[in-house]
Structure 1
Amino acid sequence: MKHFYTILITLFTLTVSAQIPAGYYDYATGTGYTLKTQLNKIINDIDDPEISNTVEEEHNPQSYNALDNFNSTYERDYYYETNGDNTILDMYSENPTGSDPYTFTPGSDECGNYNSEGDCYNKEHVIPQSVFSSQAPMYSDAHHLIPADGRVNGFRGNFPFGRVNDSQLANQSGITNPTQNGSKLGNNLNSGYSAGYSNTVFEPIDEFKGDIARIYFYFVTRYEDQVPGWSSYPMFVNDPNKGLADPFLNILITWHQMDPVSQKEIDRNNNIFYNHQNNRNPFVDHPEYVALIWDTTPDTEAPTDPTNLVASNPTDNSIDLTWTASTDNIAVASYDIYVDGTNTFNTTGTSFTATGLTADTNYCFTVKAKDASGNESDFSNQDCETTTNNGSSGGDIDIFFSEYLEGSGSNKALEIANFTGSAVSLSVYTIKLSANGSGVWTSGFPFPNGATITNGDVYVVANGGANDCSAEYDYLNNDMTSFNGNDAIGLFKNDVLLDIIGELGNSAVYAENTILVRKPTVDRPTTTFDIVNEWDIAANCDDLGEHTQTLSLDEVDLNAFKVYPNPVNNILHIDLNSSKETQIEVYNVLGKRVISKTIHNSSTLNTEQLTDGIYILRVTQGNSTISKKLIKN
């Protein structure tokens, strides 16, 4: 029980206007770790725009030396001696029920050197400064700096606080253990509320255990984002939300409950706010916050399932996801995002962009909610989407450079061929150059409005001064054709590199006064220039304006391939009579592709993610395609 005596009138002059300012905690409306983060914003040194208190609440850190005057002025004993004795109030030497073993005169008894208890007092970091490498503002934060007997301060050292096993006290020369007021150092009592830790701890007397606990609650709240970096200190844990390791969290909560907030703490909190650094310890003002944040009752309730998952806005390598938030008895901590059944991403929000995906590939997504205790919801609904095919993969069917003419003077031209199976508008394509190995592309040069290449045809861009085979020119553009034999030339689609001549960043000459014609076996663009395997050197430009594609495909008789079982439950078997590259696609009845896979031999297809119903199975090899009805049970 706390013991208080007559308080001098001086106390009231030192804590003028000593009350919580109106509106200070208006932003603290949550529970659990949400509340803790709200408190962090209130007491932090950042003026957060979300907080609209009626007072300016920004933390105004002071210097370490400024604490000397603060201690001399405000850290005095007005509480325990009859009528108070105006000496320094030291939690490590105070005797709450009788005469103190020794006292310190403010200012004159402050020192840095000591030999025995009672020699002098100095400043004790309740959270050892070695924990945060003596960095500001922690180093001078008055909320965890208290005046203490120098010898006992050194005795405590950097040990965590805990419940000492009286049969395992630590030996210390030159000081009694317990100290003259009963504080002690020894192995933690690894049982009861202090179970879980057995190494050396320091234990203050019962009168001040709640004070220490509330200092720690303040510290892990004020510096919650930095605490994970200090987790080598036994009391802390690598979790910005929880902050405190379980054994010490149990100890501090117990101390907080057994030793309620005292008038001494209230006055000290007000003096730090009004007369020193302009922020408060919320757990002195509102002790109930401790239970609201750190509920020691195990949380076994899982969040509700996320709903309304939608996959949309695909690009070559990303898909956007949105869903409706889950609810939880405490709070949802984050969401795990599963890609084709594999836990791949994690986010705290209800929208996310899945990146690192492969072009022209179908992906199926599900989401699980997770709370801070690790409880997980069941899966959300599944939604699937297919990434686009704009050429970023460097291996998809699209238009490509089919001839390159680099002659003397302005005799320069580029030919682009279309063997995609349909007409291609050039509105989303551009040509870029990179001169002399610079490694940087120019801005994209667009084609004229309405420019189109029909299937099987070519499009020729030439320099305005060119005259070789001029009858084949479709478009004159000096910017597109201002290249030399060592410049890289890029064909871009939607600003993504599709095909290239030369090597970006390489200034070596690869084709000067030369005509290059793409080999007839090349059927698609590539982002890697291979002059040996993909290009032939031509004697003249007679082939300009046309391009021959002769694919040496050993086409399989698609009518001979086998698909079983059909209807299928989970695994579909596909037997081919060839090792040729084959594209397998599954479409739902709405025409949306839900599975896409490339195989080279007989293979299997996992259809577990598909809902029951009728689908179309499409098999493509070279220029041949066949479709079959597929039933999923």
Structure 2
Amino acid sequence: MKKIFLFSVFAGLVNVYAQAPAGYYNSANGLSGAPLKTALSTIITNGHQDKGYSGLWTGYKTTDIDKNYENDGSILDIYSEKPAGIDPYNYTPGTNQCGTYSTEGNCYNREHIVPQSLFNQNSPMVSDIHFIRATDGKVNGMRSNYPFGKVGSATFTSKNGSKLGSSASSGYSGTVFEPIDEFKGDVARMIFYFVTRYESKLSSFSSGNMLGSSTFPGLQAWELDVLLAWHNQDPVSQAEINRNNASYTFQGNRNPFIDNPNYVGLIWGSQQPSNDTQAPTAATGLNISGTTSSSISLTWNASTDNVGVSSYAVYMNGSLKTTVSSTSATITGLTPSTTYSFYVVAKDAAGNSSSNSSAISGTTNAGTTNPTTDCVNENFENIPTGTSSSYSTRTWSNGGISWTATDARTDQTINNKAITVRNGSLTSGSSANGIGSLTVTTQLKFSGSNGTFTVKVNGTTVGTIPYGATAATTTISNINISGNVTVSLVNNSTTNRVAIDDLKWTCYSESAARQISDATVQNIKISPNPVTNQEIYVKGNDLQKIKKAEIYNLQGKSLQTINQPFKNGNSIKTQNLGQGIYILKLDNSTMQFLVK
């Protein structure tokens, strides 16, 4: 915001802590980089009172009121406010809450600047007023869960000039959302708040092409560059100060990057730290954490840097394969029974590169030589007709399996007929002979954004299926659940309309079940499996000789490490694993387990 730039600069020169209680940031004094970020995280976590999702409506009556532009007591909406002109519409606090909307100006709702889908709508993030703004429902819906960035070619423009379209930001080519210049710094500082307040949880969040999975720097390299530029371009305004103070009264904690904008540079550096000539240290501990017949998962220890590591380049057989911001990666599209060599290079925001990590080789699993048997093969040719374009619960049967699709229509196609789910799910009846691997084709219809279905077997999450504007076929391998199974695909969006076609899964076969381990694992097994009560019981010979236990998810991300795990018994206590499939690695032996 620029209206009160001179005031905010003057206030900052007089006392950078002018709006915070005396001593509020004392424990952060003298720190910089990751230690400063962690100290601020502790400060703003203390005192945070979760008022609940519905409590935001109450909070907005003091936090999101226009006292700096029209000063008329209406909702200050960053997606409709025109700083130098007449607003296209105004909202009365408490009166024009959504509700439903079809066009701009219908109502205002709760816009998560960091999309709530990235943290599964969990508390306290889902109701944290510091990064959830009162905004127009239609524009909020168009922004969806896209990251923020510079728009090249716009596909949508709001009435105040906020844009959705293809990215013109260096390092990212997907769809992005760009607010007007007046509020770019506001957005940046809200996101900086989020990755600081919840830095200890970032490893469990989805990235959304914006978040990083580690506490520092906490953001994708390209997104960090965008936000640093916006922070510098649009200094803290009186409206932000007012909102921070009101949020503190309402919620009990503050946004430190509004109170002291210098924290941004102290933690993340400038937009282009040209004076940074020190390269990160080489990554260590490169390890093969999992293999399939077509993929190899890698993990490694974080590098260090005088400013901060921004990304890791993963090389396969000497060629760059992918770049990630976390300390794990899964390389897909590989050939069965083939050995590949990998190494990793760390990079910082200034473009300095570390030396190569030590190389490691991994071999993909053997592909099956016998054709798999499909237990279920649903082509949706038997779905009901009638009012095909309306959304309702649809039921039908095929091949002895009953199906139910909620909030679904039947007039869209992929490969002939398809079922289209909006705010609902597709669920099978009970099928015998278990499930091995599941394959399905999806396509986003009409407008909307890329997203995912959550796949559940007998109520337990086993993976996700992505969807986008182009029809795509996805396989979840090695689910491997025996007995009677019920399969559900649940749309994680309430508005995206997604067609589903050619859904099938193979029967479970004990002999064909995935075994990502060497011969030593044959004497070690998890019992019972699925595990319960966050405790894994392991049976086998010489367990006391095992030096290290590691738990990974199916994307190869390390979740927990325990040294000498069986020193005092034969069980491992896990750290709050959600429902799903995980990998347990015991020294060089690995096996899967299911958490209910």
Q: TM-score, normalized by length of structure 2?
A: 0.45
User: Which is higher, the Rg of structure 1 or of structure 2?
Assistant: 1
If the length of structure 1 is used for normalisation, what is the TM-score? Answer: 0.42
Give the strand-richer structure, 1 or 2. Answer: 2
Q: RCO (CA 8 Å, sep 6+): is it higher in 1 or 2?
A: 2
